[in-house]
Chain A
Amino acid sequence: MKESKLWSLHIFSGAILLILLGIHMVIMHFDKILNLGDSLAWKSVLSRMQSTSHTVIYLLLLLFAVYHGLYGVRSLIFELNLSKKGRSVVSFIVVVVGLVALIYGGYAIIAGHMAKLS
């Protein structure tokens, strides 16, 4: 994919994250002020895990956050005047880390949603 498209995706993912991460931060870090109950208590975790809307939000959050973050790291490393081969190696590592994060995170979100926990 062209660099300009990757950059546009970085901007787009940033804009989406403003909304999704905003929701996540409010639920997790303003729980006492908004009287939502302890967000880290098992009961709350289980209720979010079993909710379809939360599962979708978490999957999208994972996808956009991993892309946005790893593209940012890649851009930063690319500034060190790497050779073409060096850039390919960095890109490869970033893609592998991204895939592992997506597979592991995606598995945890979907398996958590499907599991019959109580």
Chain B
Amino acid sequence: MTSDGSAAAGDGPMAAVDGSTAAMVAAPMLAVRDLRVASASGTIVAGLDLTVAPGETVAIVGESGSGKSMTVKALTGLLPEGVRATGRMELPGRAELAQGSSGLSGRAGLVEGRSGQAGRAAPTEEPAGPSEPTGRSRHAGSSGHVGSSGHVGSSGHVGSSGHVGSSGHAGSSGHAGPFGHAGPAGRSGREIDLAAQGTIWRDVRGSRIALLLQDPFTSLSPVHRCGEQIGWAISGRGRAERVARLLAEVGLPADVAEKYPFQLSGGMRQRVAIAAGLAADPDLLIADEPTTALDVTTQHEVLELIAGLQRERDMGLILITHDLRLARSRADRIMVMYAGRLVEEGPTALVMDAPAHPYTARLAACDPPITHRLPVLPTIPGSVPQPSSVGAECAFAARCAFAVDACRMAEPALAEVAEGHRAACLRPETAGLPVDVPPSPAETVPPPPAVAVPLPPAATVSSSPAETVPSSPAETVSPSPEHSGRGREAAASLFHAGEDQGIPASPLLSVEGLAKTFPGSAVPALDGVDLTIAAGETVAVVGESGSGKTTLARCVVGLERADTGRIDFHGTATGARRVQIVFQDPYSALNPGLTVGTSLAEALRAAGRPKSEVGELLELVGLPAAYARRRPRALSGGERQRVAIARALAPRADLLVCDESVSALDVSVQAQVLNLLADLRRRLGLTLLFITHDLAVARQIADRVYVMHHGRVVETGPVDSVLGAPAHEYTQRLLASIPAAD
């Protein structure tokens, strides 16, 4: 499909004639063939074909290490030093495609988008160019064809714009090779060698491909005004008006042009970044995790904005994301990458509803549902291998429940399983099957020791809650080594019962009227927060950034001091035995200079426990005791987070605070860690205060939930009722912003 499509697009007029609506059939505006990326240490992307049609959204989905980010960098010539790409990229662009097609829908949309009119363009295009005072028509070839004015300046052909305009005479149509007109110097025809370096990319980036990055806090220059940054890609006169129009297009007030990025919120910054990306009228927008750094309500707005702009401009969109739910709600087609390989691609509905690769199916299953709680979250055993370590085998075979010998003999090629739906699996029929054995929550990354290893005697490990909170319900403390979920249900129902009276029967922690305003800040971070946690209970605090949930957690563990209010621990424990914390970022959670064993031994010694418990702690979190000799850098993110949990368990504190502890992890690893926490809670009678922005995670782990907004608790109650039937407007808005799971 790839080669056929792109060839047709290149050769001329036939391809797009009948493909105006069905994106799959339309001629691609981007066709990448056999993209390979490698560094000195080995393969990063092992051969990828990719096509994007005008107006189409293609999502590239994968976990960390899948190669999706390197794919983006290769397509924009931004690979880091020492990393090289090979392959070809064809970029016919919308205008050239429009030349070949009879209906000029693509161009019409484009012109409309640029002039910022609300209505749809007329189906037959009037000579649009001359009617546009600023003369920003696109590529010279197409301009000639439709008879628009010849000025090509704005399409970002730096330095080559002026003289190209002369080709803009009506009647030069039907002539193959519009690219020859458009790019006499830098752009070598329509095809780009991905191994190329240097100035050739200047003609591609901006005018052909724009890149939207994840973090709006670092992708904008802090010392330049927003208007200036948006205008960087605009050459010639009329820059200010154009910036103003772009700002209006992305829904920002005009005065943003005069502001610096730090004066704007995250969502506004991302809008500025979008405006800057659109400034040179790209054919294709690549959005690399564009909303991952944003709050859920902002995410929704930004995604809506991108979708709207895409429609108006008939722009292609490549959406890079780790979030299957997001891909499902936004993409026309989904490509699933694993360990540098494309394992499945096809129309969204087919890939999501009838996956033909077990990895896709398992990954989708790992994503915690928002609507209900699963007793045990499905996980994928193991972790994503390094692309370079995969030999002649299916990269997923080691983690696949259905792998047969043939899977380990050769790498399966992509094979069509349905119209436009292809998967690199020898047994695509297995993808839909349930995995027989639900993976154990304590399952280890290199499999099993922990399952086989006898659990640390429950009496010793769970003693502290039992001793310090004598009145805590016995059921929650009793260990249940089977992963039946029975204990949790018992606990849940128990606390829901307690909740009926408003406050749990025996609070372990009670927070009253907590308030804090950071120096120099006008708004309080905490504005009178009340919260109680009973022994053995799991309480989630959810909210967006700035809601005060992290400040609350830091006050509880003593890292921050509140201005007013009370925090009471009702146990007898003091110091480190009261409360411990697990942070978000597994990469900075451990001292890089110390071995895992040293870190844990230190934590044990500080709590007055023998060093010999290091192995026990590691096994408790599902890691082999031999990991004690490793340094953090030899561990994966999930493994590091397990060590961080083990360290927090060392003093056997009554309360464990998890501050976004699973947010930085891949979906499959997140599920493993959530299961681990649920399991630990069952076995040790842990009490958890779980801070998260992710409502689905809260649904899976918490008994009760507090919804925070602007430093206040706006809603609280059992997780099922708060998330199932939200009473407060803000909670409803949060839930509505989550990408629909259909």
Say whether A associates with B: no
Q: Which residues of B come within 8 Å of A, CB atoms?
A: none
Q: Which residues of A come within 8 Å of B, CB atoms?
A: none
